[in-house]
Amino acid sequence: MAQPERDGRLTRTVLRRCLVALVLVLVAWGLVVGVRAPGPVQVGATGPSARPGAYVLALGDSVPAGSACGCEPFPVRYGDLLGSATHTRVTVDNRAVGGSDSADLLDALRTADLRGAVRRADIVLVTIGANDFGDQHDDIVSGSCSPAVDCVGAELTALHDRLASALRIIRMLRGDQPTTVLVTGYWNVFEDGDVARDDYGPTGLAAARALTVRANAVIRTVSGATGARYVDLAATFTGAGPDPTRLLADDGDHPNAAGHELIARALLAAGPVMDPTPSAGA
């Protein structure tokens, strides 16, 4: 998730897309800040008796990427928990990129490198969609949008269509292999907790949460229609207390270590479930 700047919407959109594309290229070439990008890591059970386990592929935005946390992001923690539960060594390949939206994910899934990673993945974790509403951020939290003036109808439709295409591509690439696809929603597509109250006020925070309900409804619907399992992070965060501040990093936008741990445990409770592969084309 990324909080947009306050002006220059067209320029901001172009720059964000260029930056995401640049990061994807740099990661692919292993040249980010002059250091080879980290590859898949093995977590879970250790020692000579530990058996090889699942290959977990994480896709999405800055939430699974672990932005603003300085901690192990939830895909790694999920793999660790899964490996410990199954007494296996789990491989985690975290391909999440900060700033990505559903269009970026769909573009990435058309590259040979990521398609190869999907083919290897027994479990695919997907968190995407919050950045689809970046250009509407100011209108949403300022109260300029209303049921009579829907600022995000087109964006919700686009999210539905692009996410559906992305999940169908994942299923197509996996073929008839047993596969678990876990797709998360969000506790908030923008800031939440104390930071949001300071930045938006109660009305703006309520508007951001209302948008989140709509976005999560789209993600849930698409997940069910494509054979994926939806993981409700709004309910997960609310179940930990009425205010998510203690689960958020200092920016109020991303999870802290406690938030990532909570997400990882919610994912573990949801899977792996080797769902039958629907007959859907890419």
- pLDDT by residue for the chain (282 residues), tens only, comes to 755 433 333 334 445 555 555 555 444 444 333 333 457 988 866 655 567 789 999 999 999 999 999 999 999 999 999 999 999 999 999 999 999 999 999 999 999 999 999 999 999 999 999 999 999 999 999 999 877 789 999 999 999 999 999 999 999 999 999 999 999 999 999 999 999 999 999 999 999 999 999 999 999 999 999 999 999 999 999 999 999 999 999 999 999 999 999 999 999 999 775 444 443 444
- 226 Cβ contact list (under 8 Å, min separation 6): 164, 167, 168, 171, 181, 278, 280
Q: In what order do the strands lie in the sheet with 41-44?
A: 41-44, 88-94, 51-60, 123-127, 180-184, 229-231
CA–CA distance, 126 with 228 (Å, rounded to integer): 10
CATH topology of domain 9-270: Rossmann fold (3.40.50)
What helix, strand, coil percent values describe the chain, rounded to 5? Answer: 55, 15, 35
Is residue 134 within 8 Å of residue 164, measured between CB atoms?
no
Residue 270 has a CB neighbour count (10 Å cut-off) of: 17
CA–CA distance, 248 with 68 (Å, rounded to integer): 9
Domain ranges of the chain: 9-270
